[in-house]
Amino acid sequence: MGTVETRSVDRNALAQIAFRFCVVYLGLFCLLLTYIPFALLGILGRWVRKYVGPWDMSLTDPVTGWVGRTFFGVDAVLHDDSGAGDQAAVWVLVLCLLVVAVVATAVWTAFDRRTSYPRLLAWFTLFLRLCLGGMMLSFGFAKLFPTQMPGPTLAQLLQPYGDFSPASVLWLQIGSSYPYEMALGAVEVMAGLLLFVPRTVVLGAAVSLLSMAQVLLTNMTFDIPEKLLSLHLLLMSLVLLAPHLQRLVNVFVRQRACEPLTQPSLFTDARKNRIALWIQVAFGLWVALGCGYDRWVVWQGQYGAGSPKSELYGIWDVRDFTLDGQPIPPLTTDQNRWQRLVFDDPGVATYQRMNGELIPVRADFLPTGQLELTTTDTASERTSAQTSFATLSIERPTQNQLLLRGKLHDHPVTITLDRVNLNTFTLRNRGFHWVQNYPYFR
């Protein structure tokens, strides 16, 4: 009997230590590393992001920079021009948080002999599920309005499959099917909304766990730079489910009855708890409205059907290319002739050399009616130094024909182009078929 009681005490002590560690570590993580504070701002998030970047960690850069240089020999300062969550600065910060959490847990355990924290548990659970719910809504609406993984650009339709990175393969695979991407987003949105309602928290955490397990798997196997974030969202789901695991096992594995699943109360007064419940629900709707509005604006302005396109939108095949008055034959070894010219988003273009290489450039339509092409100097990319290499007049004999005349690298040039029918690409024209006598792999 004494052995059983001792084991029970040991398990309770370990559970309390784990709880203290989670409070410190996940609390700091949610406040310092993720988009959570911005997702929870709702509609105000778009206004705030104009003035503060979503990965603004300027306060922690001195710490991570010093730790990185001193212990790892790397400059662990966040790159503001990158949205990647697996930067060296983030890894070093996570390590620092682990050290802080271990030390804080040890001190807390040494000086606090309490065996339970009902109020702290209630408020920490609320904090954690709001943070997780905000992230699930943010990522969910980014897929429900298919902006996180846009469909292939026109230039990508011309790029050989073997040139894509694993991350690009995953992004384009999902982005090529908006219904599939939207279904993934709907699951994440549902999980996020469930987390804001106390009675459905366990279901929301379970759905979040399954969703984040799938996301973490793809991040690991396709080398997506969000492994840390997806791992922590999965851990947050597990922490929310931990108090209920025994009862869930009784229902789903042992097929036994269990007592109702309940969340710890924030207050001892029933009326205050009812008010808190409705505040949580209203706050969830506020966050969902903000995330949905943000993605709707992005869908309309950048990636969706209503987003602006270039004046010369399309893929244009070069039929004739005359340089210095001499026609240039379409030889794959030629360094000057173009094979295609692609216009997609406003202000950018891509020309394809005869060897198939795709070169992105800036495309400005001047008030004179001319087209100016500029290329970014690779050596000076950080300073965005640009050099104009072509100024061309534009003629449109027909809707599907284009004639460009002017200077290319200070040489007179005349380029005749024909618009490509985009529906000739199998990826765009294949569609959906209920009946298929043979699989269509092409």
Query: Distance between alpha carbon 186 and the CA centroid of its chain, in Å?
Result: 16
| Residues making up the chain, counted from first to last | 442
State the helix-helix crossing angle for 178-195 and 201-221, rounded to 10 degrees: 140
* Res. 79 pLDDT band, cuts 50 70 90: confident
CB 198 within 8 A of CB 263: yes
Handedness of CA 110, 5, 21, 277 (dihedral sign): negative
Query: Quick check: 380 pLDDT over 50?
Result: no
Query: Quick check: 379 pLDDT over 50?
Result: no
Of 137, 110, 129, 123, nearest in space to 43 by CA? 137
Question: Is the model more confident about 1 or about 425?
Answer: 425
Helix (H, G, I), strand (E, B) or coil at 370: strand
Query: Quick check: 381 pLDDT over 50?
Result: no
Query: Quick check: 21 pLDDT over 90?
Result: yes
Q: What is the mean pLDDT of residues 291-317?
A: 89
pTM of the model: 0.89
Output the pLDDT for position 38. Answer: 83
Give the span between the Cα atoms of 69 and 360, in whole angstroms. Answer: 36
pLDDT digits (tens, 9 = 90+) for 176-193: 999 999 999 999 999 999
How high does pLDDT run on average in the chain? 90
Most confident of 42-46, 76-80, 147-151: 147-151
Helix (H, G, I), strand (E, B) or coil at 69: helix
Output the pLDDT for position 383. Answer: 42
Question: Is the model more confident about 326 or about 378?
Answer: 326
* Assigned token pair, 379: 């050596």
